[in-house]
Structure 1
Amino acid sequence: MKMDSLKMKKELEKRLANANRTFSFDRKKDELRIENKQTGKGITISLPGIIAKWELQKEKAIDEVVYYVEEGLQAMDGSPIQLSGYEKNIFPVIRSTSFPTESEEEIPFLTDEHTAETRIYYALDLGTTYRLIDSSLIQKEGWVPERIKEIALFNVRSLTTDLKSDTVAGNTFYFLNKNDGYDASRILNDAFLKEKAKQIKGTMAVAVPHQDVLIIADIMNDTGYDILSEMTMSFFASGRVPITALSFLYENGELEPIFILGQTKKK
């Protein structure tokens, strides 16, 4: 079966049908919006990206979208969100620099610059989902942004950093994949990266292709760069929340994006 935007729209409307929801389709932007009738709050999803995933994963791609929309709408419809008393639930999350910097209500998210490819956001963990922290929530709580950032970075350092490894063509690749929503966030744990750097025999590279994986590579030859590039692209294409298909060199505590073309690499 050939999938197109209208077929995907119908399938999602059928799967997400609820008496308290409305659906609107922007044909020009190829976007479907699902809103709560009472609150007017909702989620807008871009259909071309979902169709591309459907070509590879079929029903699994639709299942994932439905899951995240249901969780997101539930979070919006729940009890009032608050930070006080929930400090242990505040974490940083890594997103692509193309990710929106404000909510659909045009309220700015709390963010920090990270690399040329990535940006840091801050989130309140709600159990099965989380809410990105924006300026309205900060003002309501009477907090200052620095307090949230300090708490989030402290919390990410408390997360486990157990790694699995695989050696290919003399290069060793380490994978962190806890599926807790903060795998990529471990890239902000400076102590963890510095400790790992001491164990690296060749060149250290790091990748966060999507939210649920962190890759650290011990590159010993040019083939290692090619393998890392292919691996990162594969993860990027299959991730629920893609971040970047580029990798980073880790030198002196700094992350520098690298472009890997065949047997060459460019900063």
Structure 2
Amino acid sequence: MEKMTVHKIRRMMEDRLSNPNWTFTYDREQETLRVEDKETKKGINVSLQGVLAKYEQIDDQKAIEEYVYYVKEALTSMRVPIKLNGAERHIYPVIRSTSFPTSSNDIPLVYDEHTAETRIYYAIDLGKSYKLIDEKLLQKESLEKKTIKEMAMFNVRSLPTNVKEDAVAGNTFYFVRSNDGYDASRILNESFLDSFKKQITGTMTVAVPHQDVLIVADIQNEVGYDVLAELTMSFFVNGKIPITALSFLYEEGQLEPIFILGKNNKDTK
């Protein structure tokens, strides 16, 4: 089987994203492909190494199709006129890794620091997708960041939290996967996490490997840490928008990153 390369990924993405209204710019040094709307002059940068890494992990065209879908949705949403006033019930927090950009098209995004691994951004839901809120939009709507944050936190607490449960070697794992784009955001619902804390008898850990899953675990033994590490890494590699492969200890309302080093070994920051 012929080996996949960055250049092949680039050609495949350009072919699948072919649109008379969009232009492509390839940065050879950074190995990124920028797809830009000719009319709005807004666009999105795709790390081709990231696409390649995911392709190699799952060895499937699905990796490319997911990125293509993400780019199409993002560019389409950029053409939609956005209003925050009157849309209070559609504003949510979204979790991203700390490596995620803090600006878009040179306009600062509205965000808050969260943990050493994660950051909180704010978005307005558009139905099939959402748009991250930037400082320019805040000024245009005469709103303060504090107001947006209060709306977002209220709305995330109002989301349903359907949980699936699985047990491995005496350890219990709980999964929230609503596929509404805000599964990872539920890590900000403290009352939800506290309700787990009351029923967990071992060590409580929480993970947000990508935006469409939240994992809560009741770790009872060393095997539990190994299973947790495998779970989070698997979700991280296969997620459309990866966040972090690390898990967190949850104690007294605080999240502390935990490193699981090799089999049956653990250490924390």
Q: State the TM bucket, normalised to the shorter chain.
A: over 0.9
Instruction: Output the CA distance in 2 between the equivalents of 1:169 and 1:140.
Output: 54
Counterpart position of 1:235: 235
The list of structure 1 runs, each at least 4 consecutive aligned residues, that deviate by more than 6 angstroms after superposition, is none
Does residue 60 (structure 1) correspond to residue 37 (structure 2)? The answer is no
Counterpart position of 2:203: 203
Equivalent residue of 1:198, what SS?
helix
Instruction: Output the CA distance in 2 between the equivalents of 1:43 and 1:114.
Output: 24
Counterpart position of 1:87: 88
Counterpart position of 1:47: 48
Instruction: Output the CA distance in 2 between the equivalents of 1:5 and 1:102.
Output: 26
**Cα drift, residue 230 of structure 1:** 1.1
Q: For residue 102 of structure 2, what is the amino acid of its counterpart? A: T
**Deviation readout 1:108-133 (Å, 9 max, x if unpaired):** 11111111111111000111111111
Instruction: Output the CA distance in 1 between the equivalents of 2:46 and 2:153.
Output: 30
Distance 1:7 1:137, change over 3 A: same
Instruction: Output the CA distance in 2 between the equivalents of 1:156 and 1:52.
Output: 32
Instruction: Output the CA distance in 2 between the equivalents of 1:102 and 1:74.
Output: 19
Instruction: Output the CA distance in 2 between the equivalents of 1:66 and 1:117.
Output: 26
Counterpart position of 2:150: 150
Does residue 182 (structure 1) correspond to residue 182 (structure 2)? The answer is yes
Instruction: Output the CA distance in 2 between the equivalents of 1:255 and 1:44.
Output: 31
Does residue 116 (structure 1) correspond to residue 153 (structure 2)? The answer is no
**Cα drift, residue 57 of structure 1:** 4.0
Instruction: Output the CA distance in 2 between the equivalents of 1:168 and 1:8.
Output: 38
Which ranges of structure 1 fall in alignment gaps of 5 or more residues?
A: none
Alignment of 1:1-267 (within 5 A): 1-55=2-56, 56-78=58-80, 80-103=81-104, 105-261=105-261, 262-267=263-268
Q: For residue 151 of structure 1, what is the amino acid of its counterpart? A: M
How many residue pairs get matched?
A: 265
**Cα drift, residue 90 of structure 1:** 0.2
**Cα drift, residue 144 of structure 1:** 0.8
With structure 1 as the length reference, what TM-score do the two structures score? Answer: 0.97
**Cα drift, residue 195 of structure 1:** 0.9
Instruction: Output the CA distance in 2 between the equivalents of 1:135 and 1:161.
Output: 31
**Deviation readout 1:81-114 (Å, 9 max, x if unpaired):** 11011111100001111111111x2211111111
Equivalent residue of 2:35, what SS?
strand
Equivalent residue of 1:39, what SS?
coil
Instruction: Output the CA distance in 2 between the equivalents of 1:114 and 1:33.
Output: 29
Instruction: Output the CA distance in 2 between the equivalents of 1:113 and 1:165.
Output: 30
Which ranges of structure 2 fall in alignment gaps of 5 or more residues?
A: none
**Deviation readout 1:39-64 (Å, 9 max, x if unpaired):** 21111101011112222242111111
Instruction: Output the CA distance in 2 between the equivalents of 1:156 and 1:95.
Output: 15
Q: For residue 95 of structure 1, what is the amino acid of its counterpart? A: R
Instruction: Output the CA distance in 2 between the equivalents of 1:109 and 1:42.
Output: 15
